[in-house]
Copies of this chain bind each other. A is one copy, B any other.
């Protein structure tokens, strides 16, 4: 259920790495890939996508590479996932056009949309900076954006 793609995984890992190494200037796709044993060319493509989305800035040439466009604290996991996987939704009922392909007889669309929004808020509350420090369960809870309510 609810699988997000490997690309999104890689993207998050890369962003975390870039956040950690932000003082060392730009990091090349190859370096990041080697650090985590990720297929280099695949990661390169992911980073390109993120750069096109404005989350990263790219710098070509020798000693070039990628760097965060914003502070790690201002980039949410939701933005990253949406940039990579596209604006997909929890259910096929909810398309980009908002229309349901079930001839208007789909009756579970609205409840699922609420779930969709809740998940969206959930992910929006998670920042790249939150991924860095080792997890401290209790105190980080407040930091993470706290509570997400679901109203059916």
Which A residues are closer than 8 A to B by beta carbons?
1-6, 8-9, 12-13, 16, 35-38, 77-78, 81-82, 85-93, 102-103, 105-108, 110-112, 114-116, 118-119, 122-123, 125-126, 130-131, 135, 137-138, 140-141, 143-152
Contact = CB atoms under 8 A, between A and B. Distances in A.
Contacts of A107: 13, 16, 131
A146 B149 contact: yes
Contact of A90 (B4, B37, B140, B141): B4
Q: Which of A86, A93, A111, A143 has the most CB of B within 10 A?
A: A111
Q: Which of A1, A81, A125, A140 has the most CB of B within 10 A?
A: A1
B35 A105 contact: yes
Q: Which of A3, A123, A148 has the most CB of B within 10 A?
A: A3
Contact of A81 (B1, B36, B110): B1
B152 A126 contact: yes
A87 B37 contact: no
Nearest to A84: B1
Given A6-B92, A16-B107, 16 more contacts: A1-B82, A1-B89, A2-B119, A4-B90, A4-B91, A9-B91, A38-B102, A107-B131, A114-B135, A130-B152, A138-B151, A143-B152, A144-B152, A146-B149, A147-B148, A148-B150
Contacts of A35: 105
